């Protein structure tokens, strides 16, 4: 029975055997989309865009998630301490392998930004455009790390799981805070019964006129 490690090694070896100079150049460029400096620039640009739209809450949560993704990746690498594939050392990469920091960071950053944009965008086509573009970038970043030979397939899966988990947690928190921030509707006080008040005024206005007539009738009876 083939285990997870055997599957990891088999897929990594297959990717290594199908490397070409053109493929390495292409996937090396794609891989930079998951670099920490690129993700940091994306985080700043996304936060500024959300802030420009007067959504400071979403901008703050977006930045928080991006920072948390880097911390989660580094922490899990130290905790699990999985060695890299042999090709990683040839590229000068010597830190631990699981999870893929590029995959985790891309899923958290591009994923959450696309979800936030889709939530406030009118039109189903544009929503799917944002989500589809983000999903494509996330998958390509992960695939590039596998093709370059610096990660195992399970490293990518772990990174995607952590990144998407942070993205959906950020979206949930943003939605939750938005619902709490909306003030409850103030109950409208019932309008006074103007008709009854007017009737009372009419009664008072007619009372002095009726009193002399009543008195006159009583005098005649006496």
Rounded to 10°, the helix 56-80/36-52 angle is 160
Given 18, 32, 94, 102, the catalytic residue: 102
Tokens of 138: 């996330």
**b/e map 95-119, b = 16+ CB within 10 Å:** ebbbbbbbbbbbbbbbbbbbbbbbe
- In the set 18, 32, 94, 151, the catalytic residue is 151
Q: Say whether the peptide bond before residue 197 is cis (omega within 30 degrees of 0).
A: no
Question: Where are the alpha helices (H) located in the chain, listed in sequence order?
Answer: 4-17, 21-31, 36-52, 56-80, 86-90, 101-120, 124-147, 153-181, 194-221
**Within 10 A of 68 (CB to CB), how many other CB atoms are there?**
15
**Residue 94 annotated among the catalytic residues of the structure:** no
Catalytic: 102? Answer: yes
Active centre residues (catalytic): 102, 151
């Amino acid at each position: 029975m083939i285990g997870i490690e055997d599957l990891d090694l088999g897929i990594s070896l297959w990717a290594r055997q199908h490397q070409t100079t053109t493929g390495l150049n292409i996937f090396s460029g794609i891989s930079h989309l998951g670099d920490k400096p690129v993700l940091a620039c994306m985080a700043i640009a996304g936060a500024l865009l959300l802030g420009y739209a007067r959504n400071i809450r979403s901008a703050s949560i977006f930045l928080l998630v991006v920072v948390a993704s880097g911390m989660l990746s580094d922490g899990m690498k130290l905790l699990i301490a999985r060695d890299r594939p042999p090709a990683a050392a040839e590229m000068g990469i010597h830190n631990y392998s699981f999870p893929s920091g590029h995959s985790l960071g891309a899923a958290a950053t591009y994923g959450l930004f696309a979800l936030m944009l889709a939530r406030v965008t009118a039109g189903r086509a544009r929503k799917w455009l944002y989500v589809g573009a983000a999903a494509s970038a996330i998958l390509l970043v992960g695939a590039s790390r596998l093709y370059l030979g610096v990660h195992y397939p399970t490293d990518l899966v772990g990174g995607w799981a952590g990144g998407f988990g942070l993205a959906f947690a950020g979206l949930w928190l943003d939605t939750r805070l938005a619902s709490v921030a909306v003030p409850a509707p103030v109950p409208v006080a019932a309008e006074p019964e103007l008709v009854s008040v007017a009737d009372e005024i009419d009664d008072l206005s007619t009372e002095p006129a009726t009193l002399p007539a009543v008195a006159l009738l009583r005098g005649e009876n006496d």
